[in-house]
Amino acid sequence: MAFFAALALLPISWMASMAFKPAAEWTSAAGGLTFLPKDPTLNNFRYVFTGNSPDQMVGLDRTVWRPLYASLLTAISGTLIAVICGTAAAYAVSRERVHESIGLSLLQLRIFPPLAVMIPVMIMWSFLGMIDTWWGLALIYGIVTLPFSYWLMKAYFDELPREIEEAAIVEGCTPFEAFRQITLPIVASAVASTALFIFILNWSDYLIALLLTRKDWTTIPVYMNALATAASGQLYGAKAALGLLAAVPPIILGISIQRFLVRGLTFGALKQ
């Protein structure tokens, strides 16, 4: 376990080390690569936040603030769309015995290669004026991740006894009140774990954001790819610093819902 954990953490450790290296230590031409920085610096972080040029690098046209805002807004909005619609669809299929073809239809959204699907989407989004808009990107995020939300939540609802809701209805609740007051609190941990999974998918997306954004609403992955200049080449230190910063929101979200997360991932695994 320790060996495989160390193997998995090796790229992250290298990225963390690279984030604090000056430009002279990015390549072997400067005296050989080393795991730890010989002359630690915070210039890479200053570079992505301020756009100033440390270590003789060319200044940035834009800083990370706008892509960070775009990533947060689109990832959170897309997650809300997918979780709300996926939960509603999963509950309807699980409880109302709707035909399973609905679930298979949703699954078809993930069967085709993303690039093949994005070509008609780009044409439709261009016709609707939704290219390079946060709502256009958030909407497609919600649509693309909807199958994950549906199948995850359906598994949780299938494991929940319907007798609990029937007892609430006998006591005077409407079906919607039973769902809102009884079922949702019980599966709150499942919703939290599903939301975290969907958020990570949206947060780390590159292809969709690359095709549907131009300048105003580029996200962090697209912005990271643009960190290169003709004079300096690939800005590995700035990219590593941005990679560390990009890992913070999912970590914060995971810690904030930690008490729900473990129960949500093991929901229905143990039976009495």
The Cα–Cα gap between 66 and 87 comes to 31
Check if CATH label 3.30.300.20 holds for domain 68-220+253-264.
Answer: no
The pLDDT assigned to 272 comes to: 44
**Around Cβ 162, how many Cβ atoms within 10 Å?**
13
Choose among 98, 95, 225: nearest CA to 160: 95
The pLDDT assigned to 264 comes to: 52
The Cα–Cα gap between 252 and 153 comes to 23
Q: What is the pTM of this model?
A: 0.86
Torsion angle defined by CA atoms of residues 68, 110, 130 and 132, in that order, rounded to the nearest 10 degrees: 30
pLDDT digits 0-9 by tens, 169-198: 888 888 888 888 888 888 888 898 899 999
The Cα–Cα gap between 77 and 219 comes to 14
pLDDT digits 0-9 by tens, 113-164: 777 888 899 999 999 999 999 999 999 999 999 988 998 898 888 888 888 8
Domain ranges of the chain: 68-220+253-264
**Around Cβ 90, how many Cβ atoms within 10 Å?**
26
The pLDDT assigned to 110 comes to: 72
